[in-house]
Amino acid sequence: MKIFKMNKVGLLEIIKKGEDSFTEFKEEKVHPDDIAAEIVAFANTEGGKILLGVSDKKEIKGVSKPDIEMHRVENISHNNCEPSLAISIEKVKVNKKIILCIYIPKGPERPYRTNRGVYYIRTSSGRRQASREELLRLYQATRSIYYDELPVPTTSVDELDILYFRRFFESFYQTKIEEMNVDLNKLLENMKVLTLMDEKLVFTVGGYLLFALNPQKHFPVCKITIAKFYGNEIGEEFEKKDLEGKLEEQIDGADRVLNQYLRTKVKIEGFENELKFEIPRGVLREAVVNAVAHRDYHIPSQIRIFIFDNRLEIMSPGKLPNTVTLENIKLGVHSERNQLIVSYLAKMGYMTQIGTGIPRMIRLLKKYTGREPDFEERGQEFIVRIWRPNL
Protein backbone atom coordinates (compact mmCIF):
# COMPACT_ATOMS: atom_id res chain seq x y z
CA MET A 1 0.00 0.00 0.00
CA LYS A 2 1.17 3.53 -0.75
CA ILE A 3 2.71 5.28 2.27
CA PHE A 4 1.47 8.86 2.72
CA LYS A 5 3.40 11.52 4.58
CA MET A 6 1.36 14.54 5.62
CA ASN A 7 3.09 17.38 7.47
CA LYS A 8 1.57 20.15 9.55
CA VAL A 9 1.92 22.80 6.83
CA GLY A 10 0.30 20.59 4.17
CA LEU A 11 -2.53 19.67 6.50
CA LEU A 12 -3.27 23.27 7.42
CA GLU A 13 -3.35 24.20 3.74
CA ILE A 14 -5.89 21.44 3.02
CA ILE A 15 -8.07 22.53 5.95
CA LYS A 16 -7.90 26.14 4.76
CA LYS A 17 -9.20 25.14 1.31
CA GLY A 18 -12.13 23.31 2.86
CA GLU A 19 -14.06 20.21 1.83
CA ASP A 20 -14.21 19.20 -1.84
CA SER A 21 -14.55 16.12 -4.04
CA PHE A 22 -11.48 14.55 -2.43
CA THR A 23 -11.63 15.82 1.16
CA GLU A 24 -14.11 15.37 4.01
CA PHE A 25 -13.91 16.73 7.58
CA LYS A 26 -15.25 14.67 10.51
CA GLU A 27 -15.19 15.14 14.27
CA GLU A 28 -14.21 12.46 16.76
CA LYS A 29 -16.73 9.74 17.67
CA VAL A 30 -18.67 10.13 14.42
CA HIS A 31 -21.17 7.29 13.95
CA PRO A 32 -19.82 4.14 12.22
CA ASP A 33 -22.55 4.34 9.55
CA ASP A 34 -21.39 7.86 8.65
CA ILE A 35 -17.75 6.78 8.36
CA ALA A 36 -18.72 3.72 6.28
CA ALA A 37 -20.79 5.88 3.93
CA GLU A 38 -17.88 8.27 3.36
CA ILE A 39 -15.43 5.42 2.74
CA VAL A 40 -17.80 3.82 0.23
CA ALA A 41 -18.43 7.13 -1.55
CA PHE A 42 -14.71 7.81 -2.02
CA ALA A 43 -13.99 4.21 -3.07
CA ASN A 44 -16.77 4.32 -5.69
CA THR A 45 -15.47 7.57 -7.18
CA GLU A 46 -11.83 8.67 -7.42
CA GLY A 47 -10.64 8.06 -3.88
CA GLY A 48 -9.98 10.74 -1.25
CA LYS A 49 -9.26 11.44 2.39
CA ILE A 50 -11.16 11.97 5.63
CA LEU A 51 -9.61 14.32 8.18
CA LEU A 52 -10.84 13.03 11.53
CA GLY A 53 -10.68 15.66 14.22
CA VAL A 54 -11.71 18.65 12.06
CA SER A 55 -15.16 20.24 12.18
CA ASP A 56 -17.24 21.32 9.18
CA LYS A 57 -16.29 24.90 10.10
CA LYS A 58 -12.58 24.06 9.66
CA GLU A 59 -11.95 24.04 13.43
CA ILE A 60 -9.17 21.73 14.59
CA LYS A 61 -10.77 19.66 17.37
CA GLY A 62 -8.32 16.77 17.44
CA VAL A 63 -8.79 13.14 18.46
CA SER A 64 -8.42 12.33 22.17
CA LYS A 65 -7.50 8.65 21.79
CA PRO A 66 -5.95 8.36 18.30
CA ASP A 67 -4.79 4.73 18.54
CA ILE A 68 -8.21 3.51 19.64
CA GLU A 69 -9.91 5.65 16.95
CA MET A 70 -7.56 4.31 14.25
CA HIS A 71 -8.45 0.77 15.23
CA ARG A 72 -12.17 1.66 15.16
CA VAL A 73 -11.98 3.17 11.66
CA GLU A 74 -10.04 0.17 10.35
CA ASN A 75 -12.73 -2.13 11.71
CA ILE A 76 -15.42 -0.02 10.02
CA SER A 77 -13.65 -0.27 6.64
CA HIS A 78 -13.42 -4.04 7.09
CA ASN A 79 -16.82 -4.83 8.61
CA ASN A 80 -19.16 -2.04 7.50
CA CYS A 81 -18.15 -1.83 3.84
CA GLU A 82 -18.98 -4.50 1.26
CA PRO A 83 -16.61 -5.65 -0.06
CA SER A 84 -14.14 -4.66 2.65
CA LEU A 85 -11.59 -2.05 1.67
CA ALA A 86 -7.94 -1.55 2.66
CA ILE A 87 -7.36 2.01 3.84
CA SER A 88 -4.33 3.76 5.34
CA ILE A 89 -4.26 6.13 8.31
CA GLU A 90 -1.59 8.46 9.63
CA LYS A 91 -1.43 10.78 12.64
CA VAL A 92 -0.49 14.44 12.24
CA LYS A 93 0.11 16.72 15.22
CA VAL A 94 -1.21 20.28 14.91
CA ASN A 95 -1.16 22.69 17.85
CA LYS A 96 -0.78 19.84 20.35
CA LYS A 97 -3.79 18.07 18.85
CA ILE A 98 -3.78 14.86 16.80
CA ILE A 99 -5.59 14.72 13.46
CA LEU A 100 -6.15 11.35 11.77
CA CYS A 101 -5.69 11.45 8.00
CA ILE A 102 -7.64 8.53 6.56
CA TYR A 103 -6.74 7.76 2.94
CA ILE A 104 -9.29 5.86 0.83
CA PRO A 105 -8.14 4.58 -2.58
CA LYS A 106 -10.28 4.34 -5.69
CA GLY A 107 -11.68 0.87 -5.08
CA PRO A 108 -10.47 -2.01 -7.26
CA GLU A 109 -13.68 -3.99 -6.62
CA ARG A 110 -16.31 -1.33 -7.31
CA PRO A 111 -19.14 -0.85 -6.68
CA TYR A 112 -18.93 -0.73 -2.88
CA ARG A 113 -21.86 -0.40 -0.52
CA THR A 114 -22.38 -0.04 3.22
CA ASN A 115 -23.44 -3.02 5.30
CA ARG A 116 -26.91 -1.44 5.19
CA GLY A 117 -26.94 -2.04 1.43
CA VAL A 118 -26.58 1.57 0.25
CA TYR A 119 -24.28 2.59 -2.61
CA TYR A 120 -22.79 6.09 -2.35
CA ILE A 121 -20.68 8.24 -4.66
CA ARG A 122 -18.67 11.37 -3.91
CA THR A 123 -19.55 14.81 -5.30
CA SER A 124 -18.05 18.28 -4.85
CA SER A 125 -20.64 19.02 -2.16
CA GLY A 126 -20.31 15.76 -0.24
CA ARG A 127 -21.79 12.32 -0.84
CA ARG A 128 -25.06 11.09 -2.24
CA GLN A 129 -26.70 7.80 -3.07
CA ALA A 130 -25.77 6.46 -6.51
CA SER A 131 -28.48 6.50 -9.17
CA ARG A 132 -29.36 3.42 -11.20
CA GLU A 133 -27.35 4.74 -14.17
CA GLU A 134 -24.32 5.52 -12.01
CA LEU A 135 -24.51 2.09 -10.43
CA LEU A 136 -24.61 0.47 -13.86
CA ARG A 137 -21.55 2.47 -14.82
CA LEU A 138 -19.70 1.29 -11.73
CA TYR A 139 -20.50 -2.34 -12.52
CA GLN A 140 -19.49 -1.74 -16.10
CA ALA A 141 -16.16 -0.18 -15.11
CA THR A 142 -15.17 -3.41 -13.34
CA ARG A 143 -16.62 -5.62 -16.08
CA SER A 144 -19.18 -7.08 -13.72
CA ILE A 145 -21.79 -6.29 -16.35
CA TYR A 146 -21.81 -4.99 -19.90
CA TYR A 147 -24.48 -2.42 -20.65
CA ASP A 148 -24.96 -3.64 -24.22
CA GLU A 149 -25.98 -7.09 -22.92
CA LEU A 150 -28.81 -5.73 -20.76
CA PRO A 151 -32.42 -6.35 -21.86
CA VAL A 152 -34.54 -3.74 -23.65
CA PRO A 153 -38.03 -4.06 -22.13
CA THR A 154 -41.17 -4.16 -24.34
CA THR A 155 -39.19 -5.33 -27.40
CA SER A 156 -39.72 -8.63 -29.20
CA VAL A 157 -38.29 -10.71 -32.02
CA ASP A 158 -40.92 -9.17 -34.32
CA GLU A 159 -38.67 -6.08 -34.49
CA LEU A 160 -35.77 -8.07 -35.96
CA ASP A 161 -34.67 -7.14 -39.48
CA ILE A 162 -34.60 -10.76 -40.52
CA LEU A 163 -33.24 -10.14 -44.04
CA TYR A 164 -30.39 -8.04 -42.71
CA PHE A 165 -29.61 -10.58 -39.97
CA ARG A 166 -29.72 -13.42 -42.48
CA ARG A 167 -27.22 -11.68 -44.77
CA PHE A 168 -24.86 -11.09 -41.85
CA PHE A 169 -25.16 -14.65 -40.55
CA GLU A 170 -24.64 -16.36 -43.88
CA SER A 171 -21.75 -14.07 -44.81
CA PHE A 172 -19.83 -14.62 -41.56
CA TYR A 173 -20.69 -18.24 -40.77
CA GLN A 174 -20.78 -19.42 -44.39
CA THR A 175 -23.94 -21.43 -43.79
CA LYS A 176 -27.68 -20.90 -43.91
CA ILE A 177 -29.71 -20.42 -40.74
CA GLU A 178 -31.89 -23.42 -41.62
CA GLU A 179 -28.83 -25.66 -41.69
CA MET A 180 -28.12 -24.92 -38.01
CA ASN A 181 -31.01 -27.21 -36.93
CA VAL A 182 -31.96 -24.81 -34.16
CA ASP A 183 -35.00 -22.62 -33.56
CA LEU A 184 -34.41 -19.02 -34.69
CA ASN A 185 -35.30 -17.59 -31.28
CA LYS A 186 -32.87 -19.94 -29.57
CA LEU A 187 -30.17 -19.05 -32.07
CA LEU A 188 -30.70 -15.35 -31.40
CA GLU A 189 -30.57 -15.99 -27.66
CA ASN A 190 -27.34 -17.96 -28.00
CA MET A 191 -25.87 -15.05 -29.99
CA LYS A 192 -26.97 -12.58 -27.27
CA VAL A 193 -29.13 -10.68 -29.73
CA LEU A 194 -32.09 -11.68 -27.55
CA THR A 195 -32.22 -12.41 -23.83
CA LEU A 196 -34.78 -13.64 -21.33
CA MET A 197 -36.60 -11.04 -19.22
CA ASP A 198 -39.53 -12.08 -17.03
CA GLU A 199 -39.71 -15.36 -18.98
CA LYS A 200 -40.03 -13.49 -22.29
CA LEU A 201 -37.44 -13.04 -25.03
CA VAL A 202 -36.51 -9.40 -25.60
CA PHE A 203 -33.65 -7.69 -27.39
CA THR A 204 -30.38 -6.89 -25.70
CA VAL A 205 -29.20 -3.29 -26.08
CA GLY A 206 -26.45 -4.35 -28.48
CA GLY A 207 -28.71 -6.70 -30.40
CA TYR A 208 -31.28 -3.95 -30.89
CA LEU A 209 -28.75 -1.38 -32.10
CA LEU A 210 -27.21 -3.90 -34.49
CA PHE A 211 -30.17 -5.82 -35.89
CA ALA A 212 -33.52 -4.11 -35.14
CA LEU A 213 -35.66 -2.68 -37.92
CA ASN A 214 -35.72 0.74 -36.25
CA PRO A 215 -33.10 1.13 -33.48
CA GLN A 216 -34.09 4.76 -32.87
CA LYS A 217 -37.53 3.65 -31.65
CA HIS A 218 -36.04 2.90 -28.22
CA PHE A 219 -32.71 4.73 -28.61
CA PRO A 220 -33.57 7.99 -30.40
CA VAL A 221 -30.22 9.68 -29.65
CA CYS A 222 -28.09 6.69 -30.65
CA LYS A 223 -27.06 8.26 -33.93
CA ILE A 224 -24.25 10.25 -35.55
CA THR A 225 -24.62 13.97 -36.18
CA ILE A 226 -22.20 15.59 -38.62
CA ALA A 227 -21.96 19.39 -38.74
CA LYS A 228 -19.86 21.40 -41.23
CA PHE A 229 -18.88 24.85 -39.93
CA TYR A 230 -17.37 27.72 -41.90
CA GLY A 231 -14.03 28.73 -40.43
CA ASN A 232 -12.29 27.26 -37.41
CA GLU A 233 -14.87 27.97 -34.70
CA ILE A 234 -18.44 26.93 -33.96
CA GLY A 235 -20.73 29.47 -35.62
CA GLU A 236 -24.40 30.05 -36.23
CA GLU A 237 -24.19 28.99 -39.90
CA PHE A 238 -23.52 25.32 -40.57
CA GLU A 239 -24.67 22.31 -42.53
CA LYS A 240 -25.95 19.35 -40.51
CA LYS A 241 -26.76 15.73 -41.25
CA ASP A 242 -28.21 13.17 -38.82
CA LEU A 243 -27.29 9.55 -39.55
CA GLU A 244 -29.65 6.99 -38.06
CA GLY A 245 -30.40 3.31 -38.55
CA LYS A 246 -28.41 0.28 -37.48
CA LEU A 247 -24.84 0.79 -36.28
CA GLU A 248 -23.38 -0.49 -39.56
CA GLU A 249 -25.62 1.89 -41.52
CA GLN A 250 -24.46 4.80 -39.37
CA ILE A 251 -20.79 3.91 -39.92
CA ASP A 252 -21.21 3.59 -43.70
CA GLY A 253 -23.27 6.80 -43.80
CA ALA A 254 -20.58 8.71 -41.93
CA ASP A 255 -17.97 7.40 -44.36
CA ARG A 256 -19.94 8.77 -47.33
CA VAL A 257 -20.76 12.15 -45.77
CA LEU A 258 -17.24 12.83 -44.51
CA ASN A 259 -15.74 12.16 -47.90
CA GLN A 260 -18.26 14.52 -49.50
CA TYR A 261 -17.07 17.34 -47.25
CA LEU A 262 -13.32 16.66 -47.37
CA ARG A 263 -11.07 17.64 -50.24
CA THR A 264 -9.50 15.37 -52.84
CA LYS A 265 -6.91 15.95 -55.53
CA VAL A 266 -6.09 13.98 -58.65
CA LYS A 267 -2.72 12.27 -58.85
CA ILE A 268 -1.75 11.17 -62.38
CA GLU A 269 0.30 7.99 -62.66
CA GLY A 270 1.01 7.09 -66.27
CA PHE A 271 -2.36 6.88 -68.03
CA GLU A 272 -4.29 6.39 -64.77
CA ASN A 273 -5.89 9.07 -62.60
CA GLU A 274 -5.92 8.41 -58.87
CA LEU A 275 -8.00 10.34 -56.33
CA LYS A 276 -5.97 11.29 -53.27
CA PHE A 277 -7.94 12.13 -50.13
CA GLU A 278 -6.64 14.84 -47.78
CA ILE A 279 -7.20 12.46 -44.85
CA PRO A 280 -6.93 8.70 -45.51
CA ARG A 281 -10.36 7.04 -45.57
CA GLY A 282 -9.01 4.34 -43.27
CA VAL A 283 -8.27 6.95 -40.61
CA LEU A 284 -11.78 8.39 -40.78
CA ARG A 285 -13.32 4.93 -40.71
CA GLU A 286 -11.22 3.97 -37.69
CA ALA A 287 -12.22 7.09 -35.76
CA VAL A 288 -15.94 6.61 -36.48
CA VAL A 289 -15.90 2.87 -35.73
CA ASN A 290 -14.11 3.48 -32.43
CA ALA A 291 -16.69 6.08 -31.45
CA VAL A 292 -19.56 3.71 -32.26
CA ALA A 293 -17.94 0.70 -30.59
CA HIS A 294 -16.69 2.30 -27.39
CA ARG A 295 -19.13 5.11 -26.60
CA ASP A 296 -21.18 5.00 -23.40
CA TYR A 297 -24.64 4.03 -24.64
CA HIS A 298 -26.54 4.87 -21.51
CA ILE A 299 -25.56 8.54 -21.79
CA PRO A 300 -28.46 10.15 -23.70
CA SER A 301 -26.41 11.87 -26.39
CA GLN A 302 -25.35 11.21 -29.95
CA ILE A 303 -21.89 10.94 -31.48
CA ARG A 304 -21.00 14.35 -32.92
CA ILE A 305 -18.56 15.03 -35.72
CA PHE A 306 -17.68 18.69 -36.30
CA ILE A 307 -15.84 19.68 -39.48
CA PHE A 308 -13.88 22.93 -39.45
CA ASP A 309 -11.56 24.42 -42.05
CA ASN A 310 -8.47 23.25 -40.17
CA ARG A 311 -9.64 20.13 -38.32
CA LEU A 312 -12.25 17.46 -37.58
CA GLU A 313 -13.48 16.67 -34.08
CA ILE A 314 -15.13 13.32 -33.35
CA MET A 315 -16.89 13.51 -29.97
CA SER A 316 -18.33 10.36 -28.42
CA PRO A 317 -20.33 10.18 -25.17
CA GLY A 318 -18.43 8.75 -22.20
CA LYS A 319 -14.90 9.01 -20.88
CA LEU A 320 -12.24 6.41 -21.66
CA PRO A 321 -13.18 3.08 -20.05
CA ASN A 322 -11.41 1.33 -17.19
CA THR A 323 -7.59 1.48 -17.33
CA VAL A 324 -7.34 3.27 -20.69
CA THR A 325 -5.71 6.71 -20.44
CA LEU A 326 -4.95 9.55 -22.86
CA GLU A 327 -1.33 8.36 -22.83
CA ASN A 328 -1.58 4.59 -23.17
CA ILE A 329 -4.33 4.67 -25.80
CA LYS A 330 -1.62 5.78 -28.25
CA LEU A 331 0.24 2.53 -27.55
CA GLY A 332 -2.74 0.34 -28.40
CA VAL A 333 -4.02 -0.24 -24.86
CA HIS A 334 -7.75 -0.84 -25.13
CA SER A 335 -10.69 -1.97 -23.04
CA GLU A 336 -14.09 -3.03 -24.30
CA ARG A 337 -16.94 -1.12 -22.73
CA ASN A 338 -19.45 -2.75 -25.10
CA GLN A 339 -18.27 -6.32 -25.50
CA LEU A 340 -21.24 -7.49 -27.56
CA ILE A 341 -21.17 -4.59 -30.01
CA VAL A 342 -17.40 -4.87 -30.44
CA SER A 343 -17.63 -8.60 -31.17
CA TYR A 344 -20.20 -8.06 -33.93
CA LEU A 345 -18.42 -5.10 -35.50
CA ALA A 346 -15.33 -7.32 -35.62
CA LYS A 347 -17.36 -10.07 -37.34
CA MET A 348 -18.57 -7.47 -39.84
CA GLY A 349 -14.97 -6.56 -40.62
CA TYR A 350 -14.87 -3.11 -39.01
CA MET A 351 -12.40 -3.87 -36.21
CA THR A 352 -9.70 -6.33 -35.18
CA GLN A 353 -10.22 -6.44 -31.37
CA ILE A 354 -6.46 -6.40 -30.83
CA GLY A 355 -5.90 -2.69 -30.24
CA THR A 356 -3.99 -1.85 -33.41
CA GLY A 357 -6.43 0.78 -34.71
CA ILE A 358 -5.21 3.87 -32.83
CA PRO A 359 -1.48 3.27 -33.46
CA ARG A 360 -2.27 2.72 -37.16
CA MET A 361 -4.33 5.95 -37.22
CA ILE A 362 -1.44 7.90 -35.68
CA ARG A 363 1.06 6.40 -38.12
CA LEU A 364 -1.07 7.20 -41.20
CA LEU A 365 -1.84 10.76 -40.12
CA LYS A 366 1.83 11.52 -39.49
CA LYS A 367 2.60 10.22 -42.98
CA TYR A 368 -0.22 12.01 -44.81
CA THR A 369 -0.65 15.24 -42.84
CA GLY A 370 2.57 15.48 -40.82
CA ARG A 371 0.63 15.79 -37.58
CA GLU A 372 -0.65 13.32 -34.99
CA PRO A 373 -4.27 13.40 -33.80
CA ASP A 374 -5.11 14.91 -30.43
CA PHE A 375 -7.02 12.95 -27.79
CA GLU A 376 -8.98 14.75 -25.09
CA GLU A 377 -11.50 14.07 -22.35
CA ARG A 378 -13.92 16.94 -21.79
CA GLY A 379 -16.78 16.54 -19.36
CA GLN A 380 -18.45 13.25 -20.22
CA GLU A 381 -17.04 13.09 -23.75
CA PHE A 382 -13.98 11.62 -25.42
CA ILE A 383 -12.69 13.69 -28.33
CA VAL A 384 -10.44 12.75 -31.25
CA ARG A 385 -9.13 15.80 -33.09
CA ILE A 386 -7.73 15.28 -36.60
CA TRP A 387 -5.89 18.17 -38.21
CA ARG A 388 -6.48 18.84 -41.91
CA PRO A 389 -3.46 19.48 -44.14
CA ASN A 390 -3.03 22.59 -46.26
CA LEU A 391 -3.57 21.29 -49.77
> How does pLDDT run across 245-273, given as a tens digit for each residue?
999 999 999 999 998 888 766 555 655 55
Residue 367 belongs to a domain: yes
Question: H helices within the chain, ranges in order?
Answer: 8-17, 32-44, 66-79, 132-141, 162-173, 184-190, 205-211, 247-261, 281-294, 339-347, 357-368
What percentage of the chain carries pLDDT values higher than 70? 94
Residue 135 belongs to a domain: no
pTM assigned to the model: 0.69
Residue 141 belongs to a domain: no
Q: What is the pLDDT of residue 2?
A: 46
Choosing from 215, 234, 254, the residue where a domain stops is 215
Question: Are residues 370 and 239 part of one domain?
Answer: yes
What's the whole-number mean pLDDT along residues 149-156? 91
Question: Are residues 234 and 382 part of one domain?
Answer: yes
Choosing from 185, 215, 245, the residue where a domain stops is 215
Question: Are residues 248 and 374 part of one domain?
Answer: yes
Question: Are residues 366 and 281 part of one domain?
Answer: yes
What's the whole-number mean pLDDT along residues 190-198? 93
Rounded to an integer, what is the distance from CA 275 to the centroid of its chain? 37
Question: Are residues 311 and 283 part of one domain?
Answer: yes
* pLDDT-wise least confident of 20-34, 173-187, 349-363: 349-363
Question: Are residues 353 and 286 part of one domain?
Answer: yes
pLDDT (tens digit, 9 = 90+) per residue, 308-344? 999 999 999 998 876 788 888 888 887 788 999 999 9
Question: Are residues 233 and 350 part of one domain?
Answer: yes
DSSP notation for 289-315: HHHHHHS-TTSS--EEEEE-SSEEEEE
Q: What is the pLDDT of residue 1?
A: 41
pLDDT (tens digit, 9 = 90+) per residue, 89-126? 999 999 899 999 999 999 888 899 999 989 999 998 78
Identify the band that residue 196 occupies on the pLDDT scale cut at 50, 70 and 90: very high
What's the whole-number mean pLDDT along residues 36-62? 95
Question: Are residues 344 and 255 part of one domain?
Answer: yes
**Which CATH number fits the domain that encloses residue 116?**
3.30.950.30
Residue 40 belongs to a domain: yes
Q: What is the pLDDT of residue 3?
A: 46
Question: Are residues 263 and 361 part of one domain?
Answer: yes
Question: Are residues 347 and 281 part of one domain?
Answer: yes
Collapsed DSSP state (helix, strand, coil) of residue 68: helix
Identify the band that residue 230 occupies on the pLDDT scale cut at 50, 70 and 90: very high
Element (H, E) at 23: strand 23-26
Domain that holds residue 195: 148-215
Please give the tally of structural domains in the chain. 3
Residue 137 belongs to a domain: no
What's the chain's average pLDDT?
Answer: 90
Question: Are residues 299 and 365 part of one domain?
Answer: yes
Question: Are residues 378 and 292 part of one domain?
Answer: yes
Residues 346, 362: contact at Cβ < 8 Å?
no
Cβ count within 10 A of residue 171: 11
Say if residue 219's pLDDT is above 60: yes
